[in-house]
Chain A
């Protein structure tokens, strides 16, 4: 929700990427289209995922997968979304 507000968009967005779709490639494309999101999902210098950000897709948590690993086919083909969510950090 906060990232949508920052990017002034709502709901799902579609991104076209060249070559194999990996998390890094998708996030590069996302940040290129929405530069205000740079630094909010991953560190600008190290590219490491921020601690309380999670990536969900196809019912799986991809947060701990290597960011250069191929994404599941349904995501790569655009059939399924990747969810970028703020992790549960309440009590």
Chain B
């Protein structure tokens, strides 16, 4: 019998939500790591009992936790994220150069093939890799050589928040950084290049088509079609059909094309989801209506999904890592809000129901489909 396990990271702890395949009744466990900011939790796709969690606090800094029993028990693993060599500098708010300083881990991305290999996306932006289940971390410094001196922090900090692995090519990884843009490696992380051609940021950059500097919020890929990428940029929903070499806009009829997360349906590579947010200074849904938008055409033509979602007086945000899909036959979609709700849909988004309503602000949502 299949089941699902939803991993929700919040401002004050982690919660694990489990259900059978009907996804009607949920068991809620938590808070795990009560009082800590849990930026991200994610399970290994090849060993679903192996989970990694990013635990941090303004007082005590960064820890990484690992579970080998599906989140029942946890052990801290290595939390030393030391930049390779002389850390160097990046662009600062005042135009001067500022040294790289480790702040926190935003994203943990377990390997698609080896449960002991895991990637960590950190602030200040860099990519680390562990090949021993998190017992030690090594930077992949080639990334910061990709014009790192020109990267600058956005309002949320200079964070590496998105890591997407190509299942057809273990040497190819995509990452995204605020506010530097998207980058790709084709040699397993040794060398990287910006893949931002086609992005336009007239309100954020003096050169709207600059090679780096774009505020990419999230990238999604369907594993069956790894050359096609979907991106929620600060403004604009974008698509690439050539693995990031070029991008074109697919915002179409969205009420606003600002937003944070983007996701692809588990079984329909052309069905994608976004949560439109009013603007960069008004981080809430337009008109107080919480609507997920779905395109079944790979962009441009979008429909609002509203059934079961609040359609008045709703002013929550949905953050970039807080939207995920399961892979059951009837694809489940889940998202968390800064108001502490986690909503789930067991029918590809046609209808929604809250799984929990009153958690701390949700920072991330991931889903595991368990057999």
A89 close to B60 (CB less than 8 A): no
Chain B residues closer than 8 Å to A41, beta-carbon distance: 60
- How many chain B residues touch A (Cβ–Cβ < 8 Å)? 13
Shortest CB distance B11–A (Å) = 15
Q: Does A50 contact B (CB under 8 A)?
A: yes
Residue interface mask A66-91, B partner, CB < 8 A = 1: 00000000000000000000110100
Shortest CB distance A1–B (Å) = 8
With a 10 A CB-CB cut-off, give which of B58, B59, B62, B79 has the most chain A CB atoms: B59
A50 close to B60 (CB less than 8 A): yes
B60 close to A3 (CB less than 8 A): yes
Chain A residues closer than 8 Å to B76, beta-carbon distance: 6, 36
A40 close to B60 (CB less than 8 A): yes
Q: Does B141 contact A (CB under 8 A)?
A: no
Chain B residues closer than 8 Å to A3, beta-carbon distance: 60
Chain A residues closer than 8 Å to B59, beta-carbon distance: 2, 50, 52-53, 86-87, 89
- How many chain A residues touch B (Cβ–Cβ < 8 Å)? 16
Residue of A nearest to B76 (CB): A36
B57 close to A39 (CB less than 8 A): no
19 interchain pairs, CB-CB under 8 A: A2-B35, A2-B60, A6-B76, A36-B76, A38-B79, A38-B80, A39-B63, A39-B79, A40-B60, A40-B63, A44-B80, A44-B82, A45-B80, A45-B82, A53-B59, A86-B59, A87-B59, A89-B58, A89-B59
- Chain A interface (Cβ within 8 Å of chain B)? 2-3, 6, 36, 38-41, 44-45, 50, 52-53, 86-87, 89
